[in-house]
Every structure is written in structure tokens, then in C-alpha cells.
Chains A and B, each alone.
Chain A
Amino acid sequence: MNNQLGIMGKRVWRLLSKQKAVLAIIAMLIVMLFFDTNFYTSYNILAMLQDASVNVIIAFGVTLAVICAGCDLSVGSVMCLSGIITVQLINAGVNMWLAMLAGVASGAVVGFINGFFVVKQRTEAFIITLGMGMLMKGVCQHLTDAHPISSKNLDFMKLANGKLFGTIPNLAIVMLAVGILVYCLLRYTSFGRNCYAIGGDYDVAKYSGISVVRTKWLAFVLCGTITAFAGVLLSSKLNTGSSIYGDETALMVNCGVVVGGTSFAGGIGGIPQSFVGIMVLQLLTNCMNMLGVTPYLQVVCQGIVIVTIIWLDCFGRKRKREAV
């Protein structure tokens, strides 16, 4: 028992020492103690969770791709696309649930195409998904003529804006559910473990009899699917499908995942890390809002934080490489 505790303690320590993001969160929480704001209210914290939820869900999907040593920069456009498809279908009189399903399916299709290029054709993931993102953005604009379209179905809007027991936002619950689902997928299924193996060492995984192509491809499909699901939620939250959302989502989410400690080299990371990574960025925005920082200055700070954390990440690797 004692031994088990020791192991647990060691693991927590390892997690912390690798988690610059956790330290960043703790620092922010401490800073906020010194200011008299509404930061430490349940209302603010729940609102923050609700705001973050869409990006966090996308990050859960992206985590799958990144663990397999890939990455997906098309998620911003996929998010828009699924929302637009859903809202348009609802407005065309299709059953709400079917419309949502169609929206999610669109993400699966994009994920499948991404997977084809990355896994089958061995194209560099970040550049081809950047291209796919651009292509999908065009599709979104084409579908909507670049105008936001609102849904006429109030039930649809209630999905993401409702609150359980009148306090906990539905979105936060969905986020938790997706998180637990993907966490279990990564931790308790052979698919998930194979993802880690592929990201950790592609050749070893291949020679160990793991069907590397199928697994990694599936990871991309799931990434697209989960992203599309988040897109549907976003369109429900705003009651609108629009091509203008998510210009920065893709890079923001991928950065967030890395910020959390999931490595682009693959094989390292997971759902809790990605959650923490996105929350760093979200918390930063929230703190700055509370402190009355102007929106543009907020973007500057966010950029600086991203650059700093990625810089530290690279620098750590350099130190390791060059250690004497």
C-alpha cells in the first residue's frame, strides 16, 4: 500500500514537473487572489467552463491525432462546416437530431480525407491539414455566402444554452462526458494504447503487429468527428452557423494541446493535459477580462504566452540534446 502511494506520488510529481501549464494556472490563480474581482465566484467559474467547452472538446479530438504523432490544423474550418450544415438542414425542415448527425458526419468525412493524406500518402500532417482547412473554409463561405445563418428551431438553441438543475451549463457536462469518453478510449482500449505506441515509435509499433495505418487513420477520423460535434454545439450555443468563427481556432487548439504537455513528437500526453492546456489560455483571457485588460492587449498577452511555452518546450529539448 505504501509502495503504491509512493508510485502515485512519483507519478504526480512527474506530471507536475512536465506540466508547465499547471504551474501557469496556479500562478494565475494566486495572482487573482490579490485583486478584488468576481473571479472566485461559482458564476464566473461555470461561465468560464462554458466558454472554454467548445475549444476543449476540439482539443480532445486533436489530442488523438497528436498522440499518433500527427496534428490537425483543419479543425477550425471543420467546426464551422458542421455547424453550418446542421443549421441549414434544420432550417430546411430536417429533424433536428438527424441534422446534427449530418453535421457530425461531415467532420468524419474531412477527418477521413486528412487521414488518407497523412497516413496513406505520408504527407506532412500540419501542412496538408492547413490546406484542407483552407479548402473547407471556402466550402463554408460558399454554403453561406459568408453570411451567418440563424436557426429557426428554438429547441436546438436550448441544447447548448440550457443548464442542468439551473446551475451547471449543459456544455460543461457534455465536455466532461466527451472528455471521459476519449480518456477511456485512450486508456482502456487497444485502439488507444496502439495510438500511444504508434506515436512513441512508429516502426516498433508496426513490427509488433499493430495495424498502424488503420489505427492512425481512425485517429484522424475521430479527431474530425469530435471537432464536428463541438462545431454543432457551438452553432447551438450561438444559434447560428457561420463561416467567420474559428479563424484562429485551429492553431489555438493545437497550441493549447502542446501547451498542456502533449508532445508533437507523439506518444506523450492525454486528455487531462489537453484540458489543462486549453484552460491556461481560457483562464488567461478570463483573468485579463476581470482585470480590465483591453481586448487587443489580451491577444498580445495570449500570443506571448503561447510563444513562451512553446519556446520553453523547444528549449527543454535542446538542453536534453546537448546535455554534457
Chain B
Amino acid sequence: MANDNIILSIKDVHKSFPGVKALDNVSLEVRAGSVHGIVGENGAGKSTLMKILSGVYEKDSGTVAFDGQTVERTTPVESLNRGLSIIYQEFNLVNTMSVGENIFLGRFKEMGGMRGTHAKARELLDSIGSTIDTHRFVEELSAAEKQMVEITKALSFNSKLIIMDEPSSSLTSDELKRLFQIIHDLKQRGVSIIYISHKLDEIFELCDIVTIMRDGHMIDTKPVSEVTRNEMITKMVGRDIENEFPPRAHCAGETILKVSSIKTRKLHDISFELKKGEILGLVGLVGAGRTEIIRAICGADKVKGHAVSIGGKPVKIKNPASAKRMGIGLVPEDRKLQGLVLPFSVQSNIAMASLDRISRLGFINRAEEKAIALRQINNLSIKTPSPMTKAVSLSGGNQQKCIMGRWLEINPSILILDEPTRGIDVGAKYEIYVLMKQIVENGGSIIMISSELPEVLNMSNRVLTICEGRITGEFNPEDVPAQTIMDAAIG
């Protein structure tokens, strides 16, 4: 049926989520025994594609064939048994169990009990040259060791194809070398690898073929030897950005926020300044410490050496409530878990941060509460049947605008946006960009985190790159090419 050289073939796969087209007409072929790189920014559809392959999501249309057999519907367990393993960024391991048992999770009896489990786990670990003790608990392992366990687990299923999602994101360079060695060995054994990464160096060093994805589309698939680095970056980020972003605002004034040497478990000596009327972008990989920086500023996490001054005056920010009083608002990363109170009305969600202001002697002025909600619904054109509609029933973009409205109502001097456009459609994105521009034009300042590079580059006046908990560079995105910034962010 299929060419027996092809281990995985995907044809015309579509997948949409409410309001977002996650995969649009995606086709891909992976040759047996090759290392196939997939590059693309966050939101390009890589993880959706993986989840369809593993059976966590179901595709809307299209065909998938693995190892010569067409796969219609599948479950994660079935695809494992078929020989397709996925190693996610957040490891799929039970922290409270031993290494050996994790490798053979759910197959205790087949392995002949505890002794057999550990013996076979030892054998497999040895086969990739790892010395991890099979009796150790996973929670004590380093990220690199966990990855070894995941790889071993994949091998234990006799996997023909292993998909690795950003495997290098938490590895040191030595550990990375070991990983590459292991991938080479696997390749020798005839195991195919799909290697998903941001880091182009790794792609060039490791992969035979590379596929570039963007916005749910397959842009190009080429042998690595035939592409240049620049070409790849252009294809990853390059798109028609004429109408996608409003023109940049230029109204930066004097310094409003000054942060000097914040330290936490994940951050080392973070210092920077924010100017009035400026949009400051923080660029870095997931887990590089971007979110930790803003959480530290807002007092959501405990920090050492906390020296923050606002408008030239040193301040002590104990918690988000005191940050709010000093005019700092945070639109968090995960709007459903951290932002909204989903079962509450749009009105309550918008008025949430203004509770102090609309209260007199502890009593809430309901008329004012309603006025606030209506004002923000109008200003931000939030599409909701009424202010009393539950937040859970709004679309992603409108939910995000509710949280923005919540903070705009207190007129924050500093607004922090963590992934403000994640998972919302293009139209709503543009509205949020326009909104950001209005905020800075009215004298506010914005710190913005985004995994979508074009967004940060086109919106920010200044960009800081974060890597492994340190600031690795400061750039003006108008002067510096995207590639330089990306390099700095990758470290």
C-alpha cells in the first residue's frame, strides 16, 4: 500500500477548535530511520498535530497512516502499542514511583513483578548507556534523567517512531550532547525520530529532513542540507505582516519602573527598567523564566533581593493586592485557571479589581459596578449577550478582553500581559493589539510576554531576551533582525 520506506504519512489533516483553525490541510511524510525536524513557533500547530497522532485529540478530516496501516481513531494506549511514542515537554511520568516502574507502567504483571520490572528496566537503560538507578524515584531525577527515562519507556514499547517535543528545553549543553548521541544510536537501530524544536542549531546538527509549520499550515519540507538558516527563519516567522499589527506607537517617556537584581529559585539577578508609554517585550522559551519575572514583580511569588522602584520611589510589593494599589495590573498566562472566575458573570469578572474603589464603608455600590462593566464592555467591544452572562460562555478573545477590562478600569500605570493572544482568533488578536497601542498612547506602560515572535517584534518598543533565568540581551526590534533576537533568546 504505502511505500515501505515511509513510516508515517499524514495527508490533508484538518483540525479546528472553537474559534481557531489549529491545523489546516497538513500533510507530512516521515521516512523510516530518519530524524525529521519540525520547526515552528508556538501556536503553529505542532502540539495539536502530535496530540492527533497520539490519539488525545481526534482529527476533523484527513488520513493518517502509520507503518503502512491507516489509522482512523486511536487512543494513546493503542498508538503506544502500535509503536509510536511521544515525549512531551511536561514529562508523562508518575513522580511518586520508581524509575523502573515508570518505564513499565501498567505492565507490571507482564514484566514478571517487581524483580522482572527492575531487571528489564536495567537492561533497557544499559542499552542506551544510562546509569540511572531503577529504584530511584522520578521526583528526585533531573530533567535530563527524566528524559532518559521517557526515551527508555518509548523503547520498551519497541517504538518505531519517537516524537520528541522540545527535548532540549531544559538540558545543559553536556546533557544535550548525550541526547544527540542517543538519538544517533536510535537511528542506527532503525528507529525514526520526529524532533520538534525552536533551536535551529539543533535542527541543523541532528536532522535529515526539516518541516516548517506556521499558523496551522505546512509551509515547507526539505532536506536540511538544502535549506539555509535564514530561509528557515523567514519561513517560520515571515508572513504578510502589513495588516496584522497596528503601527507601532512611539511615546516612551521617563522611567516608571525600575527592577534591580531580583533573585528566586529560577531567576538570577534580573534587572531592567520600564519607561512610561513603552511596550517592553520579554522573549524567551517556555520555562526560561519570563512568567517568573512578572510574577515576582507582582508579588505573586516570594523573591530574594527584591528591589523595585516605581516612579523613582522604592516600593515594597508584598502581594498582588499591594501591586494593584501601586498601579500594576497582571493579565495572567492561563485565563481560565488564573484569570477568570468562570462561573461568575462578566460583570463580576470585570469589577473584580475595582472592588476597593466602588466600595464605601465596606458596601459595594452596585450601580457603579454595573457602570464599570458596561463601560468596559463598550470600550473593548466585548461581545456578550448581557453583563450578567457567565464568563464561561464567552469566546476566548472576549474572555481575554474581560480580564483586560478588569485592569483598565483601575487605570494601571503598568500593565503586564502574559501571552495576551494565546488561543484566540486573528480578528480578536488585532483588537487586542490596538488596545495595547491605545494604552501606551494614553500614558500607560506595558510589559508583554509572548511566545509568538512576530507579535513581540511588531508591538514592542524594546525587547529583553530571557534565557535560563537570566536576561541575555536588550534590543530594539526596529533595528535588529529577528534572527539576532531569537539567537539571544535561545542562548
A/B touching: CB–CB < 8 A = yes
Task: Give residues in A with beta carbon < 8 Å to B.
Answer: 7, 187-190, 193-194, 196-197, 199-201, 204-205, 207-210, 266-268, 322-324
Which one of B8-16, B106-114, B121-129, B414-422 is at the interface? B106-114
Which one of B88-96, B208-216, B271-279, B339-347 is at the interface? B88-96
Q: Given A324-B264, A324-B304, are A187 and B114 neighbors across the interface (CB < 8 Å)?
A: yes
Q: Given A197-B97, A201-B95, are A208 and B106 neighbors across the interface (CB < 8 Å)?
A: yes
The smallest beta-carbon distance between A172 and chain B, in angstroms, is 28
- The interface on chain B, measured as residues whose beta carbon lies within 8 A of the other chain's beta carbons, has a size of 28
Q: In the complex, which of the residues B94, B133, B302 contacts A201, with contact meaning CB atoms closer than 8 Å?
A: B94
Task: Give residues in B with beta carbon < 8 Å to A.
Answer: 56, 76-77, 80-81, 92-97, 101, 105-109, 113-114, 133, 135, 263-265, 301-304
Q: In the complex, which of the residues A7, A207, A267 contacts B92, with contact meaning CB atoms closer than 8 Å?
A: A207
Docked-complex contact B114 and A209, CB < 8 angstroms: no
Docked-complex contact B135 and A7, CB < 8 angstroms: yes
Q: In the complex, which of the residues B77, B114, B303, B304 contacts A208, with contact meaning CB atoms closer than 8 Å?
A: B77
Cβ contacts under 8 Å, B81 to chain A: 209
The smallest beta-carbon distance between B80 and chain A, in angstroms, is 7
Complex Cα gap A204–B106 (Å): 10
4 new A-B contacts at CB < 8 Å, known A194-B108, A201-B95? A197-B97, A208-B105, A268-B96, A324-B302
Cβ contacts under 8 Å, A209 to chain B: 77, 80-81, 106-107
The smallest beta-carbon distance between B267 and chain A, in angstroms, is 10
Docked-complex contact B265 and A205, CB < 8 angstroms: no
Least CB separation from A193: chain B residue: B108
Cβ contacts under 8 Å, A197 to chain B: 94, 97, 101, 105-106
Cβ contacts under 8 Å, A268 to chain B: 96
Can you spell out 29 A-B residue pairs with CB atoms less than 8 angstroms apart?
Answer: A7-B133, A7-B135, A188-B113, A188-B114, A190-B107, A193-B108, A196-B94, A196-B96, A200-B94, A200-B95, A200-B96, A201-B94, A201-B95, A201-B96, A204-B92, A204-B93, A204-B94, A207-B77, A207-B92, A208-B92, A208-B106, A209-B106, A210-B105, A266-B96, A267-B97, A323-B265, A324-B264, A324-B265, A324-B304
Cβ contacts under 8 Å, B107 to chain A: 190, 209
Cβ contacts under 8 Å, B56 to chain A: 207
Complex Cα gap A210–B107 (Å): 8
Complex Cα gap A266–B76 (Å): 23
Complex Cα gap A266–B93 (Å): 15
Complex Cα gap A200–B101 (Å): 12
Q: Given A187-B114, A188-B113, are A267 and B94 neighbors across the interface (CB < 8 Å)?
A: yes
The smallest beta-carbon distance between B37 and chain A, in angstroms, is 25
Least CB separation from A206: chain B residue: B76
Cβ contacts under 8 Å, B133 to chain A: 7
Cβ contacts under 8 Å, A193 to chain B: 97, 101, 108
Least CB separation from B109: chain A residue: A190
Docked-complex contact B76 and A190, CB < 8 angstroms: no
The smallest beta-carbon distance between B229 and chain A, in angstroms, is 36
Q: Given A197-B105, A207-B77, are A324 and B303 neighbors across the interface (CB < 8 Å)?
A: yes
The smallest beta-carbon distance between B152 and chain A, in angstroms, is 14
Cβ contacts under 8 Å, B101 to chain A: 193, 196-197
Docked-complex contact B94 and A210, CB < 8 angstroms: no
Complex Cα gap A193–B95 (Å): 13
The smallest beta-carbon distance between A307 and chain B, in angstroms, is 26
Docked-complex contact B97 and A196, CB < 8 angstroms: yes
Least CB separation from A7: chain B residue: B135
Cβ contacts under 8 Å, B97 to chain A: 193, 196-197, 200, 267
Complex Cα gap A7–B264 (Å): 32
Complex Cα gap A205–B264 (Å): 33
The smallest beta-carbon distance between A196 and chain B, in angstroms, is 6
Complex Cα gap A189–B112 (Å): 10
Docked-complex contact B94 and A205, CB < 8 angstroms: yes
Least CB separation from B91: chain A residue: A204
The smallest beta-carbon distance between A149 and chain B, in angstroms, is 45
The smallest beta-carbon distance between B104 and chain A, in angstroms, is 9
Complex Cα gap A205–B77 (Å): 10
